[in-house]
Structure 1
Amino acid sequence: MIEKVRIRGYRKFRDLTFEPHARFNILVGDNESGKSTLLEAIGLALTGRVNGRPATEEFNPFWFNRDDVASFFEARGRGQQAAPPVIDIEVFLADRDEFARHLLGAHNSDLPTRECAGVRLRIEPNPEYAAEIEAHLASETAIIPVEYYRVDWRSFSDMVLTARPKELTTAIIDSRTIRSSNGVDYHLRQILNDHLKTEAKAQVSLAFRKVKEQMTNEHLKAVNDEMKELGGALDDKLISLAMDQSSRGSWDSSVVPHVSELPFAMAGQGQQAAIKIALAMSREADRARVAMVEEPENHLSHTSLNVLLRRIEDLAGDEQQLLVTTHSSYVLNRLGLDGLRLVSGGTVAKFGGLTEDTVNYFKKLPGYDTLRMVLTDKFVLVEGPSDEMLFERFYKDTTGHRPIEDGVDVFSMRGLSLARCLEVAQLVDKHCAVLRDNDGKQPAELVTELGDLVDGTRRKVFIGEPTLGTTLEPQILTANPNDTKMRRILGVTDRADLETWMTNAKTEAALRIAESAETLTPPLYFKEAIEFIRG
């Protein structure tokens, strides 16, 4: 289990300390916010690899934090002595018996010094090339000379690591791009190696070598007899063919998984991702202790996503930690808002706890777009679709443009509990306005019922005056007493009662007002809400 991650100088993260939840972590954020980079950094420290390749092969100048690089070259430009940028990623692990032998130590950055289990990966200048580094930097350049850097990967016990410690069973599943070609792709091979018994793998490997030996001795014999007559080799040495017995020709690079008798690579990408997730989260005792899943919603229909999330929930156990990036409110709600982590601006925000009732409430209503609430700068909560359309129209009439153009998102609660929605707003500390009907009650009474969920500064409720009507429709008619104009906009004859017609056809009335070429005066509480959310 990961207790803490410290990332310094790696891509978007100049200096980040992240303490993940022991079980579910749902990482959300805008595009390019750093969600994938965070998982990449954790995987790099745990496995020494990126995209299935060793860090030494993938390392490039763009791994360094741009602000660190800019500050370094600016300091050198002023003639100051400055240390070249480094990348430092530490993963602090929980106190477990299996970590004590190889991973426990005090070689970490914690102050005061603390002995604990963990791994640390540093990318730093190689002191053996100090002269070459200085010569390169003395030229007119703004590029870090990575050719003279080294990757130093160690456990907290100061043991040099060349391969992932067997105690750190980690699965990384990227469902955005499924890498499948001939044989088993790297990610699936890693999962299989982590979960197949050592004896089973050894038996298959030995049998595979025997098959290849038989191929060489029997089926290639005739070919080799003919090749004896061929020249071309130096010193007249014989040329012959034999099956590859090296690690490049191992059994797991030659077999192909099948799904319903189709090769794995020909299965749908959603199916491939689901299989990898299921393998990584299997119920075996040696399953991946840390599973990282990139955007599980990709390539999946709504029904298939629901099945996959149920499988994740069923397979996840107390001894397994899950980190998921997502752009889906459905994934966020189903796995639990209490696991929410907002990635933005090189930071990871950990929110105060929601009540268990509210977490379960949204799990039962996973289709509600909570992720929009989390990511928007400020938002307005209204009771239904008619209120939403009218707020959009009145806002545009007041400001000259739509709310979204000012970073204001408008949500219809569609009968959801206002208190639950406000609890989410309080959790993410968003600027939020609420418009609601008074339903015949005094506004002060309705606000009091919400307690500290509204504070009048960040979150405020706006309610129509009861003497002007209990719902939105009479409030609009009071603000717009020109009967002829209202009938013209709504297309209602003199025979119909305006308030009755608008109340019985709420959505249609709102649509006609929203699409009208003529403008109306918004009710007072709409005006106040617009001023509040703008200011």
Structure 2
Amino acid sequence: MIKKIRVRGYRIHRDLTIYPNRKLNLIVGANESGKSTLMESIVLALTGRINGRSAAEELNPHWFNTGVVADFIAKRKRGEPQRFPEIDIEVFLENVPELQELCGAHNSDTPTNACPGVRFRCIPNQDYLAELQAWAKAPSSLLPIEWYRVEWRTFADRELIMRPRVLATAVIDARTVRSTSGVDYHLRQILGSQLEHHERANISRQYRDYKAVLSDTAFKSVNERIGKLHSTLHEQPISLAMDQTTRTSWEESVAPHVDGVPFAMAGQGQQSAIKIALAMNKHAGRAKFVMIEEPENHLSHTSLTRLLHRMETLTSDDQQLFITTHSSSVLNRLGLEALQFLGPTAPVKLNELDPETVRYFKKLPGFDTLRIVLADRIVLVEGPSDEIVFERVFKDLHGKRPMECGIDVLSMRGLSLGRGLELCERLGKKVAALRDNDGIESEELRKPLAQWLKPGSREVFIGEVAHGRTLEPQMIHHCGEAQLRTILGITDKADVGTWMSREKTEAALRIASSSEQFTPPAYMLQAAQFIHG
């Protein structure tokens, strides 16, 4: 299994180190946080390929981190010595007997660490050092990759030409499952792993025999006719025959079918699910590392639930999974303890969460956990009416809605506030939590939450007991009955408190859309001031 990944100078990752979980890794982050780039990095180091092609063929200047290149150019222009930008990806593996051929100390660890691993580098080609130095006198933002070379070696400093069998890797990108050739490289690779060597040899031999028969039958009369055309220089007859070279192997001609329909014409959700199931099939025993990009794509909620159940059933102890996702269903179902959050600083792992908290969120497939994970700042409220009223309070105070300021207001809908605060604490999120006092003094309500609170970072705001147990009496106390009647548009005969308690959401909506002045409860105003900073 992979124990550590270090990526330096590759695309968005200037210097990233991540310690994967042994079995399952859910890679989550905001847009442009480098999730797909991390997956590419792992595949490059394990297979030497990208998008099914050799890395040397695909190398381009946009692989190099723009910040590293910009620093190099700036320093060279100032006449300061500076090494040419490089890409360096290292995968440190578990020290087990079957990986001993990869074992060595040729890695970046200090002090020296002898362990199995592979290293992928894009470095200047010393044969073109003079050309590189000449270019560096007036460098551009695009590196001259023609004078670079790709180096793929084990930690034992042995050059790799092909992926070692022990590093079998399956890649499924559910975002773009279709292929112009009908069956893409990765699916052929996965299907091929289901065949034993003697089965492959037998299919290949019979395929050649059938092509030879076709040449001797269907083309016979055609060849007799064109053989009399005397078109060659030395009068030897020309003829047609099926191509028997490796360019036309049987793998290129065979396509899987789903219920009689060619795979490429099946639904995208079906294609994605099939690829995932084949790659994870524990009986195949081939793919040790499975990389899945956004399995939720092209799937309805019901289909996604079925796929997640299948993934849980198929996963085996000798496979390591890396999954990127934007789905709370995936995150909740597979478990927060597997999350690797790519934030603005170092990656955050959530495997230190209380197991009860992990189980708690697993039971909440409909709860949008990812909103907590991805938000810059968060306001946790008890229900929809609190959420609606707080949005009005915030906009009145700051002139913008919370989301316009990068603040997400999330209704816990009766869920445990403590569980939500524990998750926020582990993620290092700034959070304001609002709750009713329910007739209990604030200090008593804060005690069970104290371990997750931090002044200036994570605070709880609670209405005073003297002003009412819930949001509605708090609003009546601060705004006054007369003003609320105007805002809500109710008659003098209606009891304001009774009406608001009965029509909680409707009351909140009328307050949010009213142009009348609204005086908010003090604790909501304090929360709006705190979270905005």
Considering the TM-score relative to the shorter chain, is it more than 0.5? yes
The aligned counterpart of 1:33 is 33
Aligned equivalent of 1:504, options 502, 505, 509: 502
Q: Is 2:512 the partner of 1:514? A: yes
Q: Contact between 1:281 and 1:291, CA under 8 Å: does it hold in 2? A: yes
Identity in percent: 55
SS in structure 2 of the partner of residue 359 of structure 1: helix
Deviation at residue 222 of structure 1 after TM alignment: 2.1
The aligned counterpart of 2:23 is 23
Q: Which whole-Å CA distance do the structure 1 matches of 2:218 and 2:186 have between them? A: 34
| Residues 237/179 of structure 1: CA separation in 2 closer, same or farther (3 Å cut) | farther
| Residues 480/178 of structure 1: CA separation in 2 closer, same or farther (3 Å cut) | same
Q: Which whole-Å CA distance do the structure 1 matches of 2:42 and 2:482 have between them? A: 67
Q: Which whole-Å CA distance do the structure 2 matches of 1:372 and 1:438 have between them? A: 26
Letter in 2 for 1:48: G
- List aligned pairs for 1:361-400, cutoff 5 A: 361-400=360-399
Q: Which whole-Å CA distance do the structure 2 matches of 1:70 and 1:523 have between them? A: 51
The one-character-per-residue Cα deviations of 1:401-446 (angstroms, maximum 9, x if unpaired) are 1111121110111111111111111111111111111111111111
Deviation at residue 89 of structure 1 after TM alignment: 0.9
The aligned counterpart of 2:160 is 161
Q: Which whole-Å CA distance do the structure 1 matches of 2:253 and 2:328 have between them? A: 40
- List aligned pairs for 1:61-72, cutoff 5 A: 61-72=61-72
- List aligned pairs for 1:20-419, cutoff 5 A: 20-100=20-100, 102-139=101-138, 141-182=140-181, 184-284=183-283, 286-345=285-344, 347-351=346-350, 353-419=352-418
Q: Which whole-Å CA distance do the structure 2 matches of 1:381 and 1:496 have between them? A: 32
Q: Which whole-Å CA distance do the structure 2 matches of 1:399 and 1:316 have between them? A: 49
Letter in 1 for 2:37: T
Q: Contact between 2:219 and 2:241, CA under 8 Å: does it hold in 1? A: yes
| Residues 148/330 of structure 1: CA separation in 2 closer, same or farther (3 Å cut) | same
Deviation at residue 204 of structure 1 after TM alignment: 1.2
Q: Which whole-Å CA distance do the structure 2 matches of 1:522 and 1:104 have between them? A: 65
Q: Contact between 1:183 and 1:255, CA under 8 Å: does it hold in 2? A: no
Deviation at residue 285 of structure 1 after TM alignment: 5.3
Q: Contact between 2:77 and 2:137, CA under 8 Å: does it hold in 1? A: no
Deviation at residue 217 of structure 1 after TM alignment: 2.3
| Residues 104/194 of structure 1: CA separation in 2 closer, same or farther (3 Å cut) | farther
| Residues 141/427 of structure 1: CA separation in 2 closer, same or farther (3 Å cut) | closer
Letter in 2 for 1:57: E
Q: Which whole-Å CA distance do the structure 1 matches of 2:476 and 2:141 have between them? A: 66
Q: Which whole-Å CA distance do the structure 2 matches of 1:449 and 1:235 have between them? A: 96
The one-character-per-residue Cα deviations of 1:453-473 (angstroms, maximum 9, x if unpaired) are 223331111111111111111
Letter in 2 for 1:419: G
SS in structure 2 of the partner of residue 342 of structure 1: strand
SS in structure 1 of the partner of residue 7 of structure 2: strand
| Residues 352/140 of structure 1: CA separation in 2 closer, same or farther (3 Å cut) | closer
The one-character-per-residue Cα deviations of 1:44-73 (angstroms, maximum 9, x if unpaired) are 111111111100111001111111111111
SS in structure 1 of the partner of residue 378 of structure 2: strand
Q: Which whole-Å CA distance do the structure 1 matches of 2:503 and 2:258 have between them? A: 52
Q: Contact between 1:4 and 1:19, CA under 8 Å: does it hold in 2? A: yes
Q: Which whole-Å CA distance do the structure 1 matches of 2:180 and 2:198 have between them? A: 27
| Residues 232/87 of structure 1: CA separation in 2 closer, same or farther (3 Å cut) | farther
Q: Which whole-Å CA distance do the structure 2 matches of 1:233 and 1:388 have between them? A: 84
Deviation at residue 300 of structure 1 after TM alignment: 0.6
Q: Contact between 2:339 and 2:351, CA under 8 Å: does it hold in 1? A: no
Q: Contact between 1:270 and 1:300, CA under 8 Å: does it hold in 2? A: yes
Q: Contact between 1:380 and 1:410, CA under 8 Å: does it hold in 2? A: yes
Q: Which whole-Å CA distance do the structure 2 matches of 1:163 and 1:151 have between them? A: 13
| Residues 504/115 of structure 1: CA separation in 2 closer, same or farther (3 Å cut) | same
| Residues 183/497 of structure 1: CA separation in 2 closer, same or farther (3 Å cut) | closer
Letter in 1 for 2:450: G
SS in structure 2 of the partner of residue 118 of structure 1: strand
The aligned counterpart of 1:11 is 11
Deviation at residue 165 of structure 1 after TM alignment: 0.8
Q: Contact between 1:107 and 1:158, CA under 8 Å: does it hold in 2? A: yes
Long gaps (5+) in structure 2: none
Q: Contact between 1:184 and 1:254, CA under 8 Å: does it hold in 2? A: no
Q: Which whole-Å CA distance do the structure 1 matches of 2:357 and 2:315 have between them? A: 21
Letter in 2 for 1:292: M
Q: Contact between 1:169 and 1:286, CA under 8 Å: does it hold in 2? A: no
Q: Contact between 1:184 and 1:252, CA under 8 Å: does it hold in 2? A: no
Q: Contact between 1:281 and 1:287, CA under 8 Å: does it hold in 2? A: no
C-alpha RMSD of matched pairs (Å):
1.5
Q: Contact between 2:336 and 2:351, CA under 8 Å: does it hold in 1? A: no
The one-character-per-residue Cα deviations of 1:472-514 (angstroms, maximum 9, x if unpaired) are 1111011012x33221211211111111111111111111111
Q: Which whole-Å CA distance do the structure 2 matches of 1:114 and 1:201 have between them? A: 40
Q: Contact between 1:34 and 1:346, CA under 8 Å: does it hold in 2? A: no
SS in structure 2 of the partner of residue 461 of structure 1: strand
Q: Contact between 1:183 and 1:252, CA under 8 Å: does it hold in 2? A: no
Using the size of structure 2 for normalisation, the TM-score is 0.97
Letter in 2 for 1:501: W
Deviation at residue 232 of structure 1 after TM alignment: 3.7
The one-character-per-residue Cα deviations of 1:281-323 (angstroms, maximum 9, x if unpaired) are 0012523111110011111111111111111111112111111
| Residues 346/432 of structure 1: CA separation in 2 closer, same or farther (3 Å cut) | closer
